[in-house]
Amino acid sequence: MKPKDECGVAAVYALKNGKPDLDRDMSSYIPLMLQDMQNRGELSAGITTFDPKRPHILRNYKALGQVKEAFSIDAHNAKEIEHVMSGCAAIGHVRYATCGKDDVNYAQPFERVHGRLFKWFSFCFNGNIANHNELTKMLVENKGYHISLDSDTEIFMHFLSREIAICEEQHKEIDYKHIFNKLAQQLDGAYTIAFIDARGKLIVARDPHGFKPLSYAITEDAVYLASESVAIWNRGIGNIKTLEPGCMIQVDETGVKVDRYIESEKTSHCFFEWIYFSNVASTIDDRNVYEARARAGEILARSEDQEIDENTIVVSVPDTAKACGDAMGFALGAKVVEGLFRNRYVGRTFIKSNNRSAIVQQKFTPLPSVLKGKKVLLVEDSLVRGTTLRHIIKDMKERGEVGEIHLRIACPPILSPCFYGIDMSTLNELFARTHIDIDETNSNLPKEVLDAMAHELGANSLRYLSIDDVPEALDLPKEDLCTACVNSDYPTEQGKKLIKVAREKAKSGDTGRTY
């Protein structure tokens, strides 16, 4: 089963002479931008639009399902969407949950309705607040709050509301640079935020570690912001930039301003964004995703120990491993084929069976005419829990009639949970961790361990990308990356605390979430 990311955010604002253009509708851009980031979440999608000329200045719409489902115009929701889909500014969100339920109440954006314009706002975010349990306890026990949802998004909303009220009380004006500075000092974790209030103030901010990506472009007639650059690029917009960690973009009646709200002492870009999560056409922190995956394939080829002959073929698990597999095959001089096809028309809601083999057969089709009797180098971008790969290998052997399968993973072994927005929060669920000591942090596993893992998966051999090769693949210094899930080196204090809790739970046999 593939790991899932928390979500993706997008925002747009119409401009005229460098200031907001209140007469132009920009909201139709949001569904298109969200669809380009569907890879970041398929559970729900939503939008908030701003139009000061209507009584309900902010309008919020969200629904379960993929973007095309959430924003489809039919007899049931056409009128509601028509009311929402109008405004000179808008923010949008796609979600996959690392916490919270499959419930529209958990979908974002979250709107806080208030009679005073500066206290009426809507926001959405990508990431995970690692210390949200502690923050929840503080609000409930010390401040008398009632928490309705099991979601760090609601906690974020309450803290944002509190800081706005405090800022107004102490300074008699709302200074969002000050507000987000105060928030950053209280929040431990990963977040990119898109926020808009009923006065038309748009704020998009990136946490000081820069865990999650955020791109933007400012043109003569609009501002575009998104978790992935491809969502802006596909609107025909060039000159796309990266919003630096600890920085924010503000759009209001005075114009557009890019500003730093807090110093960034250490960057910790999630390396998984390049390895798996992001759209292959995106560029993150000036590093192209496709090129990073291709370099990973070339590096894997350097350590290949199998003899390459005319019976050897390279097959990638669709779709995110394709760039890596193609580059690896080319470097080895091996034939690269599509012997495993993914059914792109099998939707998330269609597959409900608890039978993993049946699910794999619905989603992936091995081609015997290509695979039969071959020695296959099967390339995958990551190996987290191993459940899907185990069934893919079994299906390729039984239906595809392959001779041998040698599994190659374009990522180091995942040994530790992620507390920053990826849905792997326990040690016992991680395939590689179950084969080594619970306290071991060295991801360069010995051959006998790799052989045992390969045998369990049904493969003839197993090799991973070394953690030492990740900086080369991404073309980034290792000190700029978060690789906590492969070496337990967590960049925040809460991460360091939670890994201790995770180990204690694993040793006691507790299979519950770490947080």
Q: What is the pLDDT of residues 427-458, one digit of tens each?
A: 988 999 999 998 899 999 999 999 999 999 99
Question: What is the average per-residue pLDDT within 133-144?
Answer: 92
**Backbone phi and psi for residue 465, each to the nearest 5 degrees, phi listed first:** -70, 135
Domain positions in the chain are 7-267, 289-508
Which of 7, 88, 324, 482 is flagged as catalytic?
Answer: 7
Residue 257's H or E segment, with its range, is: strand 255-260
pLDDT of residue 347: 55
Question: What is the average per-residue pLDDT within 477-486?
Answer: 97
In the predicted model, is pLDDT for residue 10 greater than 70?
yes
Q: CB atoms < 10 A from the CB of 479, how many? A: 10
Mean pLDDT score across all residues of the chain: 91
Decide: 252 and 20 in contact? Cβ < 8 Å. yes
**Residue that wins the pLDDT comparison between 99 and 138:** 138
Q: Can you tell me the distance from the alpha carbon of 87 to that of 164, in angstroms, rounded to the nearest whole number?
A: 24
Q: Residue 196's pLDDT band (boundaries 50, 70, 90)?
A: very high
Reply yes or no on whether 167 is catalytic. no
Question: What is the average per-residue pLDDT within 360-382?
Answer: 93
Which listed CATH number (3.30.390.10, 3.60.20.10, 3.30.70.20, 3.40.50.12280) goes with 7-267?
3.60.20.10
**Residue that wins the pLDDT comparison between 68 and 178:** 178
Q: Residue 4's pLDDT band (boundaries 50, 70, 90)?
A: very low
Question: What is the average per-residue pLDDT within 364-388?
Answer: 95
Decide: 335 and 377 in contact? Cβ < 8 Å. no
Topology of 289-508 in CATH? Rossmann fold (3.40.50)
Whether the bond between 319 and the residue before it is cis, its omega within 30 degrees of 0, is yes
Reading the block at residue 479, the tokens are 């000190």
Question: What is the average per-residue pLDDT within 213-220?
Answer: 97
pLDDT tens per residue across span 40-91: 998 999 999 999 999 999 999 999 999 988 887 554 555 566 666 799 999 9
pLDDT tens per residue across span 299-325: 999 999 999 999 999 999 998 999 999
In the predicted model, is pLDDT for residue 252 greater than 70?
yes
Question: What is the average per-residue pLDDT within 184-191?
Answer: 96
In the predicted model, is pLDDT for residue 405 greater than 70?
yes
Q: Can you tell me the distance from the alpha carbon of 184 to that of 259, in angstroms, rounded to the nearest whole number?
A: 15
